[in-house]
Amino acid sequence: MTDSSSTVRRNASWLRWQQTTTAILCGTTLVTIPMIGNAQETGESSEDNEGYRLAPIIVNAQAYADDDANSIVAQELWVGGKVATSILDTPASVSVVTEKEIEQRNASTTEEVLQYTPGVLTDYYGTDDRNDYFKIRGFQATTYRDGLTLGSMRGVREEPYAYERVEVLRGANSTLFGPADPGGSVNFVSKRPRFERFGEGYLSYGSFDAKEAGVDVGDTLNADETVAYRFTGTIRDSDREYDHSKDNNGFLMGGLTWEPTAYTSASVIFDYLKRDDTPNSGGYPLDREYDRSEFFGEPDFNYHDVERTSLTGQLTHDFNNGLTLRGNLRYSDLTDDFGYVYITDSSARVGSVVDRDYFGSDSEAQELIGNAILQYDARFDQVDSSTLVGVEYRDASTEDRSFYGDATSIDIANPVFSGAPSSLNVYSSNKQDFTTESVFLTQNLSFYDRFIVTAGVRNDALDISSTNMAGDTDSDDYSETSVRGALTYRVTDEISTYVSMVESVAPPTVGVDPERGEQYEIGAKYAPFGTNALFSAAIYDLTRDDVTIAVVQDNGVIERETVGESRVRGLDLEAKAELTDSLSVAGGYSYMESEVVRDSNASREGNEFAAAPKHTASLWGYYTLPSQDMSVGLGARYIGSYYFDAANTSKSSAATLFDAAFSYQLTKDADLAVNVSNLLDEQHVVGSSTADYYNPGREISAKVSYRW
């Protein structure tokens, strides 16, 4: 196929999508039953529907957002290949961190990607950096990749270079995603092949002798331009900010996409992630502030090895009559082993000798998840309709073994290491199997291009079995139904408002009732004409019943306790704007009041959540100097004070951190970028129990990139 005919094919495809009032599919699976009747289908002229898209049904977000990739302001959520829906019409509080913003800030971890997003708290375990740690609206966030839950793969530190964008949906959403925590969800959108030649390579060097290289290339493979490939890879060799540490990792991803016509697309993506690093020693002593470089673990024992392999298949076919079929299937295999010596300090300690313990875990997991989606869009005079019915299947298994042992104490005034233990006690061994079968129905109706009604229901049938180290097997099954309703009103073509009610059902465990959540939210969004900008505001009231939390006991043992009922009320504000070709600004603010309403321990009733600050705020600006090849960026992040524990016995100090960026265009195709996180090297305690955990210190990186 010639370049000209290829362009015609893509333009025809884009026009066809514009003529179809679509839904956002962000996390579940779907098959649609067309409501045809006497409907006039969406294959009518583009003039009839130009400039308007039906409000989103968020179900399976597998993004391919070329238009948004070159801007920090995402105007659309993308799903099912190239089907787009305006964020302005989404009846939910949504943030999107685009590829351009990730690049400006040189975000190398999920925490760094999300740390300017309102309603999100990151790094509350600081230098205990085994996993990705972040919360949304006071609760653990549920993570997805291309709209499919990571499930047993959650907790692994993701590689941001693998993704086109990261989408954050705040609030309860089990009707959309299935079993999930109520605070919100994070969806990582994988890079996919494009039908054009492109390439990027980079080399970087930074703090703690961090050396890194990466490549991202793609092109078509045949003369007809119906097959395209993409290869993405990174490799890193680095230390960490504390002594006796390493932070080595590698990532490879390859994908093929076949598009024989403008109506059919099929993709296969393979990826491999490996991490070999040293976790910190479970924090620092409690008596004073220590330098982050100090290490009180065991160099011969502290380790963290992760390997994950995934194979994903994606299919989209448009029947060109309002009906679209989508299917997604992914298999993942994971091993995650770690061990470290952690200190167990107390305020009653006398002298400089601190107790320590060995702790570790060996785990593996396999997961198969897939969905099938049919969507039907139609128009009835002044009414646009989008109907979705979906099915999803998930089969997952995990096996883990946890061990511990007493370690020799360490003199923090003169540390002497004793080495790895000869043997450790296995105190827990579990094998768990999960099977989930889901069905989903969502209906969107738009009246006179102003009022949008959304209604949805989902049922998840879960079978769970667990086998302990004694060989005893327990099993349980659940059938959980969640509902969702929303009303959106387009005040003008620039302003939309919405009110919504959504439910959540947290993933259950054997013998424990699932935790259920319910959220009411009112929001407004503004996208002014003539400016690439989006402003949003949301007020919410979120409750969660039968809550189970981890509580650190006086002896250092962590036990799970049922809280009963908890509640969060708050406000989220966000603004992103490219004010000129040279200046872009992103800012956010969140206010949150959390409360334990009912608790098995009456003394905790009325307490605030742990790691749930009332106030957080952020501002990032990026400016390209006139007639210059230089750009500068500066950001500030404010984290208000919050309690460290459920008992509300100790509290953090509020803190403000600064980040900076500098970029210089060396040649037409080459750039030099210098980024500094925590510019002033501010240090504060982000978590505390039997040890203190500090926020990450200052890091500087210099990167040379070449694009073609």
pTM over 0.95: no
Mean pLDDT for 692-707 is: 96
Q: Which helix (H) or strand (E) holds 103?
A: helix 99-105
Mean pLDDT, rounded, for 260-289: 93
pLDDT for res 175 = 83
Q: Which of 449, 532, 531 is nearest to 496 (CA)?
A: 449
At residue 6, does pLDDT exceed 50?
no
Distance CA 619, CA 588 (A): 7
Q: How confident is the model at residue 559, as a pLDDT?
A: 63
> Which residues in 263-382 belong to E strands, given as ranges?
264-277, 303-318, 323-344, 353-380
518 Cβ contact partners less than 8 Å away, ≥ 6 residues apart:
172, 182, 501, 502, 503, 504, 542, 543
pLDDT confidence band for 627 (50 / 70 / 90): confident
**DSSP assignment, residue 695?**
P
Q: pLDDT grade, residue 17 (50/70/90)? A: very low
| CA-based torsion, 688, 691, 696, 698: positive or negative | positive
Alpha-carbon distance 229 to 192, whole Å? Answer: 8
Tell me: the pLDDT tens digits for 587-617? 999 999 999 998 878 888 999 999 999 999 9
How far apart CA 473 and CA 65 sit, in angstroms, is: 46
For 570-591, write each residue's pLDDT tens digit: 999 999 999 998 999 999 999 9
Q: What is the pLDDT of residues 424-433, one digit of tens each?
A: 999 899 999 9
Q: Which residues pair with 286 in a beta bridge?
A: none
Whether 703 contacts 106, CB under 8 Å: yes
Exposed, middle or buried, 524 (CB in 10 Å: 0-12/13-18/19+)?
middle
Binned at pLDDT 50, 70 and 90, residue 550 comes out as low
| Model pLDDT for residues 69-98, shown as the tens digit of each residue | 789 999 887 643 323 478 998 899 999 999
Mean pLDDT for 270-296 is 92
Burial 371-381 (b: 16+ CB within 10 A, else e): bbbbbbbbbee
Tens digits of per-residue pLDDT, 658-676?
Answer: 999 999 999 999 999 999 9
* pLDDT tens-place string over residues 240-260: 999 999 999 999 999 999 999
Least confident of 93-107, 482-496, 505-519, 674-688: 505-519
pLDDT at 437 over 90: yes
b/e map 165-202, b = 16+ CB within 10 Å = bbbbbbbbbbbbbbbbbbbbbbbbbbbbbbbeeeebbb
Tokens read off for 511: 């013998």
Q: State the sign of the Cα–Cα–Cα–Cα dihedral 173, 179, 182, 185.
A: negative
Residue 352: pLDDT over 50: yes
pLDDT in tens, 51-64: 334 544 444 433 34
Task: Give the pLDDT of residue 558.
Answer: 58
pLDDT recorded at residue 252: 98
- The pair phi, psi for residue 412, each rounded to 5°, is -70, -15
Q: How confident is the model at residue 276 (pLDDT cuts 50, 70, 90)?
A: very high
Can you list the positions of beta strands (E) in 468-613? 473-490, 495-505, 516-526, 532-545, 548-552, 558-562, 565-578, 583-598
The per-residue pLDDT for range 110-134, each reduced to its tens digit, is 999 999 999 999 988 876 777 888 9
Residues shown for the chain: 708
The mean pLDDT of 288-314, rounded to a whole number, is 94
Instruction: Report the pLDDT value the prediction gives residue 560, as an integer from 0 to 100.
Output: 60
Q: Which tokens hold the place of 514?
A: 């699932």
Question: 671: how many CB neighbours lie within 10 A of its CB?
Answer: 18
Q: How confident is the model at residue 464 (pLDDT cuts 50, 70, 90)?
A: very high
Is residue 25 predicted with pLDDT exceeding 70?
A: no
pLDDT over threshold 60, residue 653? yes
> Mean pLDDT over all residues of the chain?
86
423 burial level (CB within 10 Å; 0-12, 13-18, 19+): exposed
Banded model confidence at residue 147, pLDDT cuts 50, 70, 90: confident
CA 272, 276, 281, 283: dihedral to nearest 10 degrees? Answer: -40
Q: In this prediction, what percent of the chain has a pLDDT beyond 90?
A: 69
**What is the average pLDDT across 680-689?**
94
The residues facing 636 across adjacent strands are: 619, 658
Amino acid at 150: L
**pLDDT of 124:** 86
Q: Which structure tokens are listed for 179?
A: 């079993």
* 3-state DSSP of 198-253: EEEEEEEEEHHHEEEEEEEEEEECCCCCCEEEEEEEEEEECCCCCCCCCEEEEEEE
The answer for residues whose C-beta is within 8 angstroms of residue 544's C-beta and 6 or more apart is: 139, 182, 504, 506, 515, 516, 517, 565, 566, 567
**Residue, of 237 and 508, whose pLDDT is higher:** 237
Residue 532: what pLDDT?
94
- Report the candidate in 536, 619, 613 with the shortest Cα–Cα distance to residue 573: 536
Task: Name the least confident of 93-107, 173-187, 213-227, 692-706.
Answer: 173-187
pLDDT category at 552 given cuts 50, 70, 90 is: low
The answer for 82, left when phi > 0, alpha when psi is -120 to 50, beta otherwise, is alpha
Position 549 scores a pLDDT of: 61
At residue 551 the predicted structure's pLDDT band, cuts being 50, 70 and 90, is low
In this prediction, residues 621-627 reach a mean pLDDT of: 91
The per-residue pLDDT for range 505-525, each reduced to its tens digit, is: 888 888 777 888 999 999 999
The yes-or-no verdict on residue 47 having pLDDT over 80 is no
